[in-house]
Structure formats: C-alpha cells, structure tokens
C-alpha cells in the first residue's frame, strides 16, 4: 500500500487532518485500531472553541453542527452559594459551541467515506518508521505495510507514534483528584455551563442537547464507581451546585458513568524526520476548560497547511516550523487548563490558608474586568500560532 500521508488514529485530529488534506488534493489513509462503532460512540469533550467550529463550517462539515450545536455566549463560575457569569461574547466578540466530540467524529467519518477516503478500522499500527516513512499495521490477523511520504501520529497518549521519536522529552503533572462523569437523560438545568467550586469538591454542569445533560464531580483518582449509586451522585451534585436563591438541579436516568484521571503532559519535539505528532499523542490537558479536543484541532490545522505548502511548492519550511509553532500554543493552553484546575478544585492536601487564598482568587476573577477578560480569551480559544512564513 502507498499514500502521501499516513495518519494513525481516527479521532477528531486524524479524521479532520485527512479531510483537510483531501480538500487540498492530498491523498491519505487513516489507520484506526478500534472498530467504527467504538470510534463513533466513545464519550469525550463537547465544547468547541469558535476556531474549531469555524474550521468545521469552512471545510464543509458543519451542517449538523449548525443545526444541533448549542452556541453559548457565557459561562458561570459558582461558589459561596452564588453564581457569577463570565460574558464571553461581550468580552471577546467570540462564542463557544456545545457539540459532542462523538457527533463531530460521526460527521467526519461520514464525510471521508462519502468522499472516497480510506479510513481503515480495526487496523492496529504496530510500528512506525519515520525515516523511510511507513507504518506497519495488523488487520484481519495479518501484518501489512503502508508506505508514504509522511506519517501523522494522531493516535493518542498510548499510541505507537510518540515512542518512535528518539530522544523525546516529556513534561507531566498528575493531579490528586479525578472526575466522575455521567450522562443523564434529563433536560439541562442550565442554559450555559456551570463551573462550581465547593468545599466538598468541584462540579461541572455541561450539556449535550436540550434533552441530555453531562455532569461531573471531583472524586479521588482511585474512586470505585460501585460506591456511587444514582441517588448518591444526584445528592452530591445538588449539594455542590446549591445556591442561596434555591436553584434546583433536574434529575433523570443516568445512562453512562466513568472516572477520568487528570494529568498535564507535553512531549517535545512534535516532529522527527517525516513523523509528526498531533493531539493527545503529543500533549494532554486536564479537562477543566475543555481544551483537549480544541488543541488537537489547532495542531492539525497548522499541519494541514504545512503539507499543502509542501505539495504545492516543494517547500518544507512550514513543516520544519510545525513543532515550535504548535508548542507555543500548547504551552499557553496547558497553563490555562492548569490554572482553571487549581482555581476550582479542592486540593486534599491544602490547608486553611491555601483555601482562603483560593477563595480570594475566585473573588478577584469575577470582580475584575481584566481577569474576566483573560479567562474569556482563553476559554473561547487563543489564536493559532503559525510557523514563520505561513
């Protein structure tokens, strides 16, 4: 087999990259270890920065997004029994859109297949050669080799791409808490996301649609789901979202639950020879602030433009600048996610002094226009950082 760009991973990063390359007349093959049903139904993030929503629309896969996505102009920080709205659009002129990653993946898979794209499911990449570029993969019990000009590793934190970069440096932080996330068949109790800080821990009220709610609780990293009955989950959510004005949380059947550990992680560089890393293969952010999916999208926007320049002119200038350019935005986004996480979660090791400082910081953020603007600018998405010459 041969293609111009071999893409490992059929998540949002890999699928969007394949689609953007197709629009430039560049061939690609996407290799995905899981089956299509798994890929289209795994629950992930659901808040799109305006830049992410814009690229989906501009590339022709935004029809269902525009029909079903929920455009939000603000978010709420809730603490001390009161809510404080951060008016995103008033402060930045931009919005975010609630649209589940699962739906974005479905749209991209359908579009790639309709365009005749090669998305090979149950094709597990087992080895990458960055120098004589190729990917060896297992499909139907047989080993096959996909030869190519370049490899894009969009295969997540546990994929084979990052280990193929010799001498790669990694930076990481593990957090002393996790998120217990649920999906519930109940209309959301809010029109905009609520980020709640409470002495018992953080909580987040998100939404998936007018009839489906997505909610999270801060728990221990080793939390046993068996200890959390539906009644206990709803009682704890109600306690952490409680306000002095009697706000009520709607309850309903829980259809999915899971515990997600939290980490920050960055690998450098994101390129070796003809192998390029994008998305979770190169960096992880804690879910506070909803940046993981959006950071992956910004990676492949830059990478797609660099490939387009290479095949249009023969120049590899943008490819050479990919890693440094992308990492500048990665580190800024890592900082925002780290900051939001510490602003809102309860550190079990923190004493009274640290907790009072945290409350003072929350008061400052909601009372200062400069602080609200900084939060809003990061939340709706920082500008993409391009390689020199782009």
Please identify every residue annotated as catalytic. Answer: 72, 195, 287, 291, 379
Q: How many angstroms separate the CA atoms of 279 and 295, rounded?
A: 7
Buried b (16+ CB within 10 A) or exposed e, 119-132: bbbebbbeebbbee
Which of 1, 41, 4, 100 shows the shortest CA–CA distance to 304? 4
Alpha helices, DSSP H only, in 115-186?
Answer: none
DSSP strands (E only) in the chain: 5-8, 28-31, 47-49, 70-72, 75-79, 82-86, 96-98, 118-120, 123-129, 134-139, 142-147, 150-153, 169-184, 194-196, 203-209, 212-219, 254-268, 271-272, 275-277, 283-284
Q: How many angstroms separate the CA atoms of 155 and 161, rounded?
A: 7
Q: Order across the sheet with 169-184: list the strands.
A: 82-86, 75-79, 194-196, 203-209, 212-219, 169-184, 254-268, 283-284
Tokens for 287, please give them. Answer: 């879910």
Q: Is 48:96 a contact under the CB 8 Å cutoff?
A: yes
């Amino acid at each position: 087999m041969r293609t111009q760009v071999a893409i490992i991973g059929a998540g949002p990063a890999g699928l969007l990259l394949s689609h953007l390359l197709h629009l430039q007349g560049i061939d690609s093959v996407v290799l995905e270890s899981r089956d299509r049903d798994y890929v289209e139904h795994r629950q992930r993030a659901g808040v799109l920065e305006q830049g992410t929503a814009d690229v989906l629309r501009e590339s022709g896969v935004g029809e269902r997004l525009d029909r079903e996505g929920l455009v939000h102009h603000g978010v709420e920080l809730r603490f001390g029994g009161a809510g404080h709205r951060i008016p995103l659009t008033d402060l930045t002129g931009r919005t975010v859109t609630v649209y589940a990653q699962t739906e974005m993946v479905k749209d991209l898979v359908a579009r790639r297949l309709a365009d005749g794209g090669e998305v090979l499911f149950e094709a597990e990449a087992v080895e990458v050669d960055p120098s004589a570029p190729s990917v060896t993969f297992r499909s139907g019990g047989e080993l096959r080799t996909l030869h190519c000009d370049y490899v894009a590793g969009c295969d997540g934190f546990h994929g084979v791409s990052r280990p193929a970069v010799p001498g790669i440096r990694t930076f990481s932080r593990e957090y002393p808490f996790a998120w217990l996330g649920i999906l519930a068949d109940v209309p959301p109790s809010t029109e905009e996301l609520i980020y709640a800080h409470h002495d018992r821990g953080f909580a987040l009220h998100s939404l998936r649609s007018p009839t489906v709610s997505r909610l999270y609780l801060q728990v221990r990293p080793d939390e046993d789901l068996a200890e959390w009955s539906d009644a206990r989950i709803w009682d704890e959510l109600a306690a952490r979202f409680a306000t002095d004005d009697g706000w009520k949380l709607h309850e309903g059947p829980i259809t999915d639950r899971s515990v997600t550990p939290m980490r920050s992680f960055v690998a450098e560089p994101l390129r070796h020879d003809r192998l390029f890393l994008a998305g979770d293969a190169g960096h992880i952010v804690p879910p506070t602030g909803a940046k993981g999916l959006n950071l992956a999208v910004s990676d492949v926007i830059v990478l797609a433009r660099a490939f387009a320049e290479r095949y249009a002119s023969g120049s590899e200038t943008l490819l050479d600048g990919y890693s440094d350019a992308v990492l500048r935005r990665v580190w800024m986004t890592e900082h925002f996610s780290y900051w939001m996480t510490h602003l809102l979660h309860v550190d079990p090791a923190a004493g009274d002094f640290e907790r009072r400082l945290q409350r003072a910081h929350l008061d400052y953020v909601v009372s200062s226009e400069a602080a609200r603007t900084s939060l809003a600018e990061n939340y709706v998405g920082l500008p993409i950082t391009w390689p020199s010459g782009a």
